[in-house]
Amino acid sequence: MYQLSCLKADLSGQYGRFVSVLLKNRSERQVTQTGGALTVVADSVIAQRLNAFVAICLCMDDTVRVVVETDDGETELTVQRGRTLRDVLREAGHSPYTALTERANCGGRGLCATCGVRLETEVAPDHWHDELAERFGYPRLSCQVTVDRDLRVRLVDDKLVWGGRE
């Protein structure tokens, strides 16, 4: 048996759900939470490595900083790790859409290409089309970017197909 403890854990948060799914079908594992500490007892070396990964995720700060650049200046946001950039921007009043596409978009499914933003912070592409877009200088789709680190984002002012912001 291996035991691993993490001091800043919260099983009710985003990573807590991941821990629950990961540990769901393991009969010889035990997860306990006392105050803010999480203890995971594993039954094999592989489980120990998975638990180490989970513990690292749990020990990470749940918030990250997103700096949004517009023509009016910069806005610094503190947001929960793991959310999509599109949702973060919209909730903060910095919609990635133009006046036309604010109502006519795919709802964050990556189908319409109307929520493009410029990422000043390098974020590895998740999909082959993101890699091509980056290579040719196209904006990244904010609905397909997961905020998992500090980011600097520039809103695209004039979109050739969908018009300007105003």
- HEC string of 115-140 equals CEEEECCCCCCCCHHHHHHHHHCCCE
With cut-offs at 50, 70 and 90, classify the pLDDT of residue 12.
very low
The order of strands in the sheet holding 30-34 is 2-6, 37-42, 30-34
66 has a pLDDT exceeding 90 = yes
Q: Where exactly does CATH 3.10.20.30 map onto the chain?
A: 63-164
Nearest to 50 by CA among 34, 64, 35, 31: 31
Q: Let me know if domain 2-59 sits in CATH 3.40.1350.
A: no
Encoded tokens for 61: 């700060």
With cut-offs at 50, 70 and 90, classify the pLDDT of residue 102.
confident
**pLDDT computed for residue 154 by the predictor:** 94
Structural contact between residues 33 and 11, judged by C-beta atoms closer than 8 angstroms: yes
Q: Where exactly does CATH 3.30.70 map onto the chain?
A: 2-59
| Phi, psi torsion values for 140, nearest 5 degrees | -90, 150
Residues 6+ apart with CB under 8 A from 27: none
| Phi, psi torsion values for 56, nearest 5 degrees | -65, -45
22 has a pLDDT exceeding 60 = no
Q: What is 63-164's CATH number?
A: 3.10.20.30
